[in-house]
Amino acid sequence: MAGEVKRTKKKVIGLSTEGQNPVPIELVNFDYLIMMDSLRDDDVLEDFLNFNTEFLVTGLADCNVSGVNTSDILQFDCKRFYRVDQAPAPGVPDVFFDIPTENQK
């Protein structure tokens, strides 16, 4: 097999469904509200607002995720840390909010 794992742009994580019931989840990521680090006195705020600040990714997680409580923090493989915003309920996907870190761009 050729190539380096760290240089690949897309990675696929497998989740076995044999003998398990995967749980539907929603991962919610947020972007900056303002597109500049700082505004000058003559800048108009509306010119620098980012209107696309929320990104939603749906997926399936291991059935053990259904045991989490609201405000628990966990990390998904190859993803960032997330806080449980909506605890599991029948027929409703678990909702996890991204926890920003200083390493994010």
Q: Look at residue 105 and tell me whether its pLDDT is greater than 70.
A: no
From the DSSP assignment, how many helices (H) and strands (E) are in the chain?
0, 5
**Residue boundaries of the structural domains of the chain:** 64-105
CB 20 within 8 A of CB 62: yes
Q: Mind listing the pLDDT tens digit for each residue in 38-54?
A: 888 888 888 888 888 88
Buried b (16+ CB within 10 A) or exposed e, 60-97: ebeeebbebeeeeeeebeeeeebbbeeebeeeebbbbb
Q: What is the pLDDT of residue 64?
A: 82
What is the DSSP-derived secondary structure letter of residue 12?
-
In the block, residue with structure tokens 């947020």? 30
